[in-house]
Amino acid sequence: MTEQGSIGLKETDVLIVVDVQYDFLPGGSLAVPDGDGVIAPINRLAHAFRHVVLTQDWHPQGHASFASSHEGKQPFEMTELHYGTQVLWPDHCIQGTPGAEISRDLNIPHAQLVVRKGYNTGIDSYSGFMEADRKTSTGLAGYLKERGFKRVFCAGLATDFCVAWTALDAVAAGFETYLIEDASRAIDANGSLERAQNDLSAAGVRTISSAQILGG
Ligand code: VGL
Ligand code: ZN
């Protein structure tokens, strides 16, 4: 067990803020329940981190992860793509649309990088590191290593998809990895949250609260 405020932040720590975009917020096409609940804790956390990276889901029209791209399929059904099983989503985060914009309520002017992902029409990318074919890299691991970061802290939307997959790839890339639970919210479709939590703990991702970082 870690105590409150016991994670002293260091120069080699980086916060990754995952997909806090209008389509995942209330009123968006793939709104995460209570999605805007992440904004206040993320703003508090970001203030404490010298180094912050953002991810941005960024799909072309007709993306393979959209139910609308598959005849007869509805959102939240599954299909088989060339790399495996894919959940089908409502159209969301289409490049250049308002829904794809990162929330203006985030107050992180010192963010150093925005990593866009999911821009290949035929491949989804929940993770900020690696697309769903598990072969195509975004380059983020190389960037973080070249910058000398050692610990990666993940927060944002959605806990059970993009935050979890980003954290799993961070730990696989050799970073000590934390998922900040109260600064993330889940979609929780068909047991996805419990599955993600099992995968995270099996992989050695540590779940913590903002209070363990910020104190109080
Ligand atoms: C996400 C589903 C589809 C996410 C992105 O940000 O968690 N989920 N695309
Ligand atoms: Zn997406």
The predicted-structure confidence for 164-216, as pLDDT tens digits, reads as follows: 999 999 999 999 999 999 999 999 988 999 999 999 999 999 999 999 999 86
- CATH code, 172: 3.40.50.850
The predicted-structure confidence for 28-72, as pLDDT tens digits, reads as follows: 999 999 999 999 999 999 999 999 999 999 999 999 999 999 999
Separation of CA 117 from chain center:
10
Q: Which residues line ligand 1 (CB under 6 A)?
A: 19, 24, 57, 89, 126, 157-158, 161-162
Domain housing 146:
13-59+90-214
- Calculate the alpha carbon distances from 35 to 61, 72, 99, 117, 183 in Å: 24, 29, 14, 20, 10
Q: For the chain, what is the domain count?
A: 1
Residue of the CA atom closest to atom 9 of ligand 1: 126
Question: 5 pLDDT band (50/70/90 cuts)?
Answer: low
Q: Is residue 32 part of a domain?
A: yes
Average pLDDT over residues 108-128: 97
Q: Is residue 75 part of a domain?
A: no
pTM over 0.95: yes
Q: Which residues face 156 on adjacent strands?
A: 18, 184
Active site residue 135: no
Q: Is residue 181 part of a domain?
A: yes
Instruction: List helix spans (H) across 62-205.
Output: 140-146, 164-172, 192-203
Q: Is residue 43 part of a domain?
A: yes
Ligand 1: which of 24, 59, 95, 165 to mutate, most ligand atoms within 8 Å of CB?
24
Q: Is residue 85 part of a domain?
A: no
Let me know: does 128 contact 119? Beta carbons within 8 Å. Answer: no
DSSP-derived pairing of the beta strands 113-117 and 52-57: parallel
> Quick one: pLDDT at residue 6?
84
Q: Is residue 147 part of a domain?
A: yes
Q: Is residue 73 part of a domain?
A: no
